[in-house]
């Protein structure tokens, strides 16, 4: 469960510059412990300083995602959520019908994920992606 300084160090090690904006953004999503939209992250930063732009928030979040320090996931309604891998690998099951999101943690699925990784030689740590389907409620209410 890496601390926000670990994230910053990793960025620095990768040759990226550490700016006040990046520090604040990393601090916020590392300590939040849940998923946040770019808009939410910006509001949190705004509580500390007015010197922040939404484009910078998106760019920083993308940077974290590209370097494996955070994950992006599409909620399926035009919104995107971001989170660090701090609370461990997990999958989001997003219901295509009602939009409900169910979170599944690593211990439940490690076998499946390991298999995907072994087979495809694809580094996806922290595992964090979304699967869109129908939740039990929606399926029961409207069977095929």
Partner DNA sequence: TTCCCTGCTGCGAATATTCTCAATAAAGGA
Partner DNA sequence: TCCTTTATTGAGAATATTCGCAGCAGGGAA
Residue 32 or 109 with smaller CB distance to a second copy: 109
Count Cβ atoms below 10 Å from residue 64 Cβ, excluding itself: 25
| Residue 133 touches a second copy, criterion: CB under 8 A | yes
The closest alpha carbon to 45, from 16, 71, 23, belongs to: 23
Helices 4-13 and 20-32: crossing angle in degrees, nearest 10, is: 140
Which range touches DNA (CB under 7 A), out of 14-22, 101-109, 117-125, 130-138? 14-22
Of residues 118, 85, 89, 115, the one with CA closest to residue 104? 89
Q: Quote the longest CA-to-CA distance of the chain.
A: 53
Site string for DNA, 57-96 (x = CB under 7 A): -xxx-x-------------xxxxx----------------
Closest CA to 69 of 16, 136, 140, 144: 16
141 binds DNA (CB under 7 A): no
Out of 6, 74, 101, 106, the residue judged to bind a second copy by CB under 8 A: 74
Provide the binding-site residues for a second copy, judged by CB under 8 A: 14, 65-66, 68, 71-72, 74, 76, 91, 93, 96-97, 102, 104, 108-109, 111-113, 115-116, 119-125, 127, 129-136, 139, 142, 144
């Amino acid at each position: 469960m890496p601390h926000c300084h670990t994230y910053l160090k990793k960025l620095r090690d990768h040759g990226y510059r550490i700016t006040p904006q990046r520090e604040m953004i990393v601090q916020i999503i590392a300590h939040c412990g849940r998923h946040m939209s770019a808009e939410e992250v910006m509001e949190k930063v705004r509580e500390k300083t007015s010197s922040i732009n939404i484009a910078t928030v998106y760019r920083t979040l993308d940077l974290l995602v590209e370097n494996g320090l955070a994950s992006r996931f599409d909620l399926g309604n035009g919104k995107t959520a971001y989170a660090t891998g701090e609370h461990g690998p997990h999958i989001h099951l997003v219901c295509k019908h009602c939009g409900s999101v169910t979170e599944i943690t690593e211990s439940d699925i490690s076998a499946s994920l390991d298999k995907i990784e072994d087979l495809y030689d694809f580094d996806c740590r922290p595992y964090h992606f979304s699967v869109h389907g129908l939740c039990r409620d929606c399926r029961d209410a409207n069977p095929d």
